[in-house]
Structure 1
Amino acid sequence: MFWAQSHRESSQRLFEIAEKQQGFFTTKQAKAAGFAENTHPYHVQVRNWIREHRGIYRLALFPTADRPDLVLWALWSRQRNEEVEGVYSHHTALSLYDLSDLNPAKLQMTVPTDFRRNSDIPSILVLHYADLPESDIQTAQGFRFTRPLLTILDLIEAGTVERNFMRQALRQSVDRGLITRQQIRKARMSGPARKVVEEVLRRVA
């Protein structure tokens, strides 16, 4: 009886963790919830858990979200203390604001300049290195992504998307209130980026 109660309590703790991450959790989080590491293969075998990547699992009965991949690779970017370091940016962030019909095969993620991994970077990820202030980051359920203005400026600087497309995305952002003129005035940007932004602002004035 004690074991059954302990298991229920551990399961509840794990669910509370996974619920904030669209059903996903890490090995360390499972251990913190009360599941000894030597029991993890059993829970995978009996289909309580699904192993999604090394050290990352998902509750089998948890409803699948629209973009489970975003949570999975955010957890991949975590530090030893389990803090997620990756922030979705560039094309990926733009699509999250419904400002783009582009659907690149790879996910764009910005990580700190001191980010290191001993293993290979997953082929689905394209990493950019920058130390982002929290003010430039938006939080969703289980992952983070750059705010609209930084997203657009990053893409203008990268030069990987046609300028006309970026003008359209910027114009839509201003029209929808995702970006304010005050934010634009305060933003640090290069000469070419400033030129694109000011041109759009003149047209929506």
Structure 2
Amino acid sequence: MLREPTDNRAALWRTAAGQRGYFTAAQAQEAGYSYQAQRYHAQHGNWLVVDRALYRFREFSDLPDEGDEQLVRWSLWSKGRAVVSHDTALTAHDLGTANPSRIHLTVPRGFRQKSDVVILHRADLADSDVEDRMGYRVTTPLRTLVECAAEGDDQDVLDGAVAEALERGMVTRRKLLHAAQVLGPRAELGLERALGTMS
């Protein structure tokens, strides 16, 4: 049975609403839009073309920016396999002064896609290391801080982020040091230095 065009739009809108207005060509097809119909909507400006096989409803681009819309875009680009991490996750958690020029994503080891706009880190994250946001996933504050320490990121940025996370009750000293032991000596050193600045 064929659906009415308004039913197709309603179905796609429901999907896109949870993704800040973004949707993939596959999601549009699932909602009842053939590839020919998708091309029509893109060419006539009904849908904004964000990337290959990635669109956004025009209405969402008129809403005030919340700052993390681009993270939804990269989650969809990765087909939901990427988790926002490292410096980008610090920004998502509003910790410290990190201002990365590229998006940091942690992806499974077999992930093959590439882009010049992102830095990919390969790791298998436990569910407890990840939290869900509207349209994307991000590493927890604990995992984020430990990863940044393990990467040897800017120590001043790490110091500030650790201090803020402790002050806001997002992590504890004990959990930070334990998680750092799991990731190795570099993570331990970075976090011990950050905690030392607070003594």
Q: Please indicate the TM-score interval, normalised by the length of the shorter structure.
A: 0.7 to 0.9
Contact 1:90/1:154 (8 A) holds in 2? yes
Any conservation in 1 of the 2:149–2:187 contact (CA below 8 Å)?
yes
Residue 130 of structure 1: aligned partner: 123
User: Amino acid of the residue matched to residue 53 of structure 1?
Assistant: D
Map of 1:75 onto structure 2: 76
Match of 2:21 in 1: 23
Residue equivalent to 1:170: 162
Percent identity over paired residues: 32
Query: 2:151 and 2:116 mapped to 1: Cα distance?
Result: 20
Aligned residue for 1:101? 97
Q: Residue type matched to 2:184 in 1?
A: S
Deviation of the 1:192 alpha carbon? 3.8
- The Cα shift of 1:26 comes to 0.5
Question: For 1:27-38, what aligned pairs fall within 5 Å after superposition?
Answer: 27-38=25-36
Q: CA deviation at 1:180?
A: 2.6
**What are the within-5 Å matches in structure 2 for residues 185-196 of structure 1?**
186-187=178-179, 188-196=182-190
The CA RMSD over aligned residues, in Å, is 2.2
Matches of 1:102 and 1:170 in 2, distance apart?
12
Q: Which of residues 168, 172, 191 in structure 2 aligns to 1:197? A: 191
1:76/1:186 CA distance change after superposition, 3 Å: same
1:116 is matched with 112
Q: Summarize deviations over 1:112-171 as a string: whole Å, max 9, x none.
A: 011113xxx22111111111111101111111111111111111111131x243122112
Give the TM-score, by structure 1 length.
Answer: 0.85
Which runs of 5 or more residues in structure 1 are unaligned? 79-83
